[in-house]
Amino acid sequence: MKLTNKQLQANELLNGIQQHIMLFGGSRSGKTFVIVRRICMRAIKAPMSRHAILRFRYNAAVASILMDTLPKVMRLCFPDVEYRIDKQKGIVYYPNQSEIWIGGLDDKERTEKILGQEFATLYLNECSQIPKSSRDLAVTRLAQVCMCEIEGKEPYMLPLKMFYDCNPPGKGHWTYKLFVQGIDPDTKIPVVNHPAKYAYMQINPEDNKDNLPSSYIETLKGLSARLQKRFLLGQFGEENPNGLFFDETIDKWRHLEGSLPDMQRIVVAVDPSGSGDEDNADNDAIGIIVAGLGTDGNAYVLEDCTVKAGPATWGNIAVTAFERHQADIVVGESNFGGAMVEMTIKTARARTPYKAVNASRGKVVRAEPFASLYEQGKVRHVGYFIELEDELTAFSTIGYTGKGSPNRADALVWALTELFPAMVNPRRISKANIQPPAHYNNPQGWMA
């Protein structure tokens, strides 16, 4: 990989006077590559130095950094330097006794082991997923004193550095407040001498197009306006103080690596729209979502089968999903069309277990309790569901702010209601276990 002009500028910033430096911007802009390259260079320069790269999820850190980016950096930028990876320990070893530790904040035992050490460099990768409290704990370990030894130069002390990167979340996130606004996210007080301590730089896919497939930028341009702003333009989103679901929360718990737990129960949920008998491109979408409850107690969104079609088609799609996932039941909203959903399902596949659900409350009221489950990681998306996530992030305490009807999100709520039946009866929920969303603006009314 050849460093582009913008990446060379980022590299200079990483080597600048500030101790805390953040690169933010769109997807595949080279942020991670540039920072890992700088960390490898620091490890090679300073014998017996120790460096840590942390993500929210350990499996993601191993897959993304330890087994992908770091070997690529060493192959392309330091081909003559020997190194050894211990995948089991998550440590990279260099001949000069320097080490790079890879960690995940979801692994309590390993996190405690890492944070029991002192480091010359800390790097929070995808820090939009990392809580401010975890960042504050990590920074206390930025304390290793070590010397750089470069042939022909006098040894000098390696400056302590903490690097950050992210696809920018909303402006309410601590990264925006700390780096861009220059205020303490907790106290809201301006950071003293901020420019001398903190620096940031935006870097986007366009800045790295020489190293990307020719079609990649066009793929990003095909995303929704919300996702283009984040992954193509690399801009912090406007914060919705009344929002229920947030990109950073969904990203934090998204399941991308490793196997899923066994499922105790799998549900196919249907949210009908009243479309006519014929397939028609002008039909409203029929929300069809597959979700399961794992043996770990978490719900997993497995598939979005939403379709614009008449009953014969969407009925077939729903029961095919039922068979493909070996589901336990199909649930469908009964207010729109009465027994129509059940009849459509039974026509497509006789004797399919079916349960009708009744929308006695509004969309937002039904969705509100599940926002807390998302924040706690009790609901996780298996992969990316762009249209569904667009709908979820448009839910707010003052109503649905998106376009059209949130058929996908409605179907998801029906699925989660079936998987977490206590959520429809707040009196059965332990308030010690289910807390209101951190941003919820009416705590007195939470599950009243």
- 3-class SS string, the chain: CCCCHHHHHHHHHHCCCCCEEEEECCCCCCHHHHHHHHHHHHHHHCCCCEEEEEECCHHHHHHHHHHHHHHHHHHHHCCCCCCEEECCCCEEECCCCCEEEEEECCCHHHHHHHCCCCECEEEECCHHHCCHHHHHHHHCCECCCCEECCCCCCCEECCCEEEEEECCCECCCHHHHHHHHCECCCCCCECCCHHHHEEEEECCHHHHHHHCCCCHHHHHHCCCHHHHHHHCCCCCECCCCCECCCHHHHHHHCECCCCCCCEEEEEEEEECCCCCCCCCCCCCEEEEEEEEEECCCCEEEEEECCEECCHHHHHHHHHHHHHHCCCCEEEEECCCCCCHHHHHHHHHCCCCCEEEECCCCCHHHHHHHHHHHHHCCCEEEECCCHHHHHHHHCEECCEECCCCCCHHHHHHHHHHHHHCHHHHCHHHCCCCCCCCCCCCCCHHHCCC
**What is the C-alpha end-to-end distance of the chain, expressed in Å?**
56
Chosen domain end from 231, 257, 278: 231
Structural domain contains residue 306: yes
Q: 254 with 221, same domain?
A: no
Q: Is residue 271 a contact partner of residue 333, using CB atoms and an 8 Å limit?
A: yes
Q: 217 with 280, same domain?
A: no
Q: 217 with 313, same domain?
A: no
Q: 50 with 174, same domain?
A: yes
Q: 223 with 267, same domain?
A: no
Number of structural domains, the chain? 2
pLDDT for the residue 30: 95
Q: 67 with 115, same domain?
A: yes
Instruction: CATH number of the domain at 199, please.
Output: 3.40.50.300
Q: Is residue 178 a contact partner of residue 24, using CB atoms and an 8 Å limit?
A: no
Q: 186 with 306, same domain?
A: no
Structural domain contains residue 27: yes
pLDDT for the residue 132: 93
Report the alpha-carbon distance of residue 337 to residue 275 in Å, rounded: 10
The length of the chain is 448
Instruction: CATH number of the domain at 258, please.
Output: 3.30.420.240
Q: 204 with 265, same domain?
A: no
Residues 57, 28, 73, 173, CA torsion sign: negative
pLDDT for the residue 279: 56
Tell me the per-residue pLDDT of 63-93, one tens digit each, with 9 for 90 and over: 999 999 999 999 999 999 999 999 999 999 9
Structural domain contains residue 346: yes
pLDDT for the residue 31: 97
pLDDT for the residue 46: 96
Domain with 168 in it: 5-231
Q: 266 with 161, same domain?
A: no
Q: 124 with 210, same domain?
A: yes
Structural domain contains residue 307: yes
Question: How many whole angstroms from its chain centre is CA 27?
Answer: 13
Report the alpha-carbon distance of residue 374 to residue 297 in Å, rounded: 13
Q: 277 with 224, same domain?
A: no
Pairing relationship of beta strands 299-304 and 285-294 according to DSSP bridges: antiparallel
Report the alpha-carbon distance of residue 299 to residue 309 in Å, rounded: 28
pLDDT for the residue 439: 44
Q: 332 with 226, same domain?
A: no
Structural domain contains residue 448: no
| CA dist list (Å): 269 to 139, 305, 306, 411 | 45, 10, 10, 5
Structural domain contains residue 200: yes
pLDDT for the residue 360: 66
pLDDT for the residue 275: 54
pLDDT for the residue 428: 41
Chosen domain end from 231, 263, 284: 231
Structural domain contains residue 90: yes
Q: Is residue 135 a contact partner of residue 127, using CB atoms and an 8 Å limit?
A: yes
Task: For residue 214, give both structure tokens.
Answer: 């020719």
Output the CA angle 59-220-403, nearest 5 degrees: 100
pLDDT for the residue 38: 98
Give the Cβ contact number of residue 391 at 10 Å.
26
Report the alpha-carbon distance of residue 277 to residue 99 in Å, rounded: 65
Residues of the chain with pLDDT under 50: 426-448
Chosen domain end from 200, 231, 262: 231
pLDDT for the residue 197: 97
One-letter amino acid at 251 equals D
Q: Is residue 119 a contact partner of residue 50, using CB atoms and an 8 Å limit?
A: yes
pLDDT for the residue 150: 78
Structural domain contains residue 305: yes
Residues 330, 335, 337, 339, CA torsion sign: positive
